[in-house]
């Protein structure tokens, strides 16, 4: 297998890790004013992701850095063409992270209420915009012979991309609700369980529409099998949630996101950014990649350090695996 293909697969894995882990973070933020009915409950919801959210965002940094190093032309075209959308995501992540750290610095209810709404908005925006971005990458955007994006913001806000954004919002919100049902206890657990079931049905319809549209436009037998598997796993997760089997429900929602992202990358390959102007102008794993020497060094580094990062993050999740309630003593 060529190193360009290896790094295409590795970048897909990095995005899968980010979207699965940060996905439930976004879901918790979106559900903050819905499930949390008083200050103690809202603080408990934020404590559920307190030890985890910053480690989850490392996957985004690594995915962006790997894209820049392995496929610099892809990185350049993507960030110049999607500048405003990615800028909004970046600002949202900054504000959200500040909110998670600063909301408890003062006991003033108005101070905390403002940060709660900031966390809600800055969780919702990235949850939508990541779906919009990936949908546009898969469908193709106007790229000229110089590999430069020639569209504008309205080009990105097409029906297919907006459906993709609503799909990721639905999946992440369901994922977050299932995480809360697994992580909390008492009334919060019951409330999260109910909301996961209700939002999950909406997310299932959106996902079927989005993946169906993807298959009709760009799919092949391989991606169709994965899409059907994603649908089956998600339905299984909703059933497990209804039966109160939170571990299985959360695992199923995570696997659904994994399979959905796999569908997008399978459909995309060997392109990394198709051109809707002319297929000859598309960026591929070949014409957008770095030299073989660079990819070789990156591969050695990845082989050494990736297992260490996975072990550390796995240890973090193991340490903070227990359920929490409003009475749990946890410094956050």
Is 182 within 8 Å of 248 (Cβ atoms)?
no
Q: How does the average pLDDT of the chain come out, rounded?
A: 90
Residue 324 lies in a domain: no
pLDDT of residue 328: 58
Q: Could you tell me the pTM of the whole model?
A: 0.92
Q: Return the pLDDT at 330.
A: 47
Question: What confidence tier does 327 reach under pLDDT thresholds 50, 70, 90?
Answer: low
What is the count of structural domains for the chain?
A: 1
220 pLDDT exceeds 90? no
Is the pLDDT assigned to residue 298 strictly greater than 70? yes
- Tell me if residue 324 falls in helix, strand or coil: strand
Domain hosting residue 273, numbered range: 3-319
Specify if 328 maps to a domain.
Answer: no
Give me the CATH number covering residue 116: 1.20.1630
Quick check: 160 and 213 in contact, CB under 8 A?
Answer: yes
pLDDT in tens, 94-150: 999 999 888 888 888 899 999 999 999 999 999 999 999 999 999 999 999 988 888
Q: 131 near 167, Cβ under 8 Å?
A: yes
Tokens of 178: 């299932």
- The residue ranking higher by pLDDT, 185 or 249, is 249
Which of the pair, 268 or 54, is modelled with greater confidence?
268
Residue 138 lies in a domain: yes
- Range 276-281 contact pairs with CB under 8 angstroms and sequence separation of 24 or more: 276/139, 276/140, 276/141, 276/142, 276/143, 277/142, 277/143, 277/144, 277/150, 278/145, 280/145, 281/143, 281/144, 281/145, 281/147
Over residues 21-28, the mean pLDDT reads 94
In a domain, 331, yes or no: no
Q: Is residue 326 part of a domain?
A: no
pLDDT-based confidence at residue 1 (cuts at 50, 70, 90) = low
């Amino acid at each position: 297998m060529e190193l360009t293909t290896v790094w295409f697969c590795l970048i897909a894995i990095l995005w899968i890790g980010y979207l699965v882990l940060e996905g439930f973070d976004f879901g918790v933020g979106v559900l903050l004013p819905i499930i949390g009915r008083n200050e103690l409950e809202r603080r408990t919801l934020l404590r559920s992701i307190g030890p985890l959210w910053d480690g989850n965002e490392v996957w985004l940094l690594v995915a962006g850095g790997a894209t820049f190093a392995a496929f610099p032309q892809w990185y350049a075209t993507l960030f110049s063409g999607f500048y405003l959308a990615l800028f909004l995501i970046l600002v949202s992540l900054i504000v959200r992270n500040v909110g998670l750290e600063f909301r408890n610095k003062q006991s003033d209810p108005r101070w905390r209420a403002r940060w709660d709404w900031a966390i809600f908005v800055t969780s919702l925006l990235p949850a939508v915009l990541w779906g919009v971005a990936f949908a546009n990458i898969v469908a193709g955007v106007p790229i000229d012979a110089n590999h430069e994006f020639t569209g504008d913001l309205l080009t990105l806000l097409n029906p297919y991309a907006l459906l993709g954004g609503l799909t990721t919002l639905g999946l992440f919100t369901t994922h977050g609700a299932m995480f809360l049902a697994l992580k909390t206890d008492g009334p919060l657990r019951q409330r999260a369980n109910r909301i996961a079931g209700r939002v999950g049905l909406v997310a299932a319809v959106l996902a079927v529409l989005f993946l169906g549209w993807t298959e009709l436009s760009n799919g092949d037998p391989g991606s169709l099998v994965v899409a059907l598997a994603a649908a089956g796993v998600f339905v299984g997760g909703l059933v497990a949630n209804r039966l109160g089997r939170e571990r299985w429900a959360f695992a199923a929602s995570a696997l659904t996101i994994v399979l959905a992202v796999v569908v997008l990358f399978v459909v995309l390959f060997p392109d990394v950014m198709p051109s809707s102007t002319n297929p000859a102008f598309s960026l591929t794993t070949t014409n957008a990649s770095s030299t073989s020497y660079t990819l070789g060094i990156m591969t050695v580094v990845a082989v050494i350090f990736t297992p260490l990062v996975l072990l550390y993050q796995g240890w973090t999740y193991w340490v903070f695996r227990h359920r929490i309630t409003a009475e749990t003593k946890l410094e956050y």
